[in-house]
Amino acid sequence: MSSKTISRQKSAPKPAAAVTSREALEAQVAAFLKSGGEIQQVAKGVTGQPNGAASRHISLGKK
């Protein structure tokens, strides 16, 4: 019985997840803008919550 070593081709290292996500987001934004979409800048501190809406806090510990 002879033993053979199987050699694999070295592949390029995978990009970090953040790099992949950033590239995907950039492609989506470019497609959105190309289709006529517009990006609005929102002032700091502005929220999408309507006034008077109860805030929903998440409790992670036991009371």
In a domain, 58, yes or no: no
In a domain, 61, yes or no: no
Q: Give the integer Cα–Cα distance in Å for 17 and 22.
A: 8
In a domain, 37, yes or no: yes
Whole-number pLDDT of residue 9: 72
Torsion of the alpha carbons at 37, 42, 19 and 31, rounded to the nearest 10:
0
How many structural domains does the chain have? Answer: 1
Which range marks the domain in which residue 31 is found?
19-43
Q: Give the integer Cα–Cα distance in Å for 49 and 60.
A: 22
In a domain, 32, yes or no: yes
Whole-number pLDDT of residue 31: 96
Determine contact, residues 4/10, Cβ cutoff 8 Å.
no
Our measurement of the distance from residue 62's CA atom to the centroid of its chain's CA atoms, rounded to an integer in Å, reads 31
In a domain, 54, yes or no: no
In a domain, 52, yes or no: no
In a domain, 10, yes or no: no
Write out pLDDT tens, residues 12-59.
Answer: 777 778 778 989 999 999 999 999 999 999 899 887 777 766 667 777
Q: Give the integer Cα–Cα distance in Å for 33 and 48.
A: 22
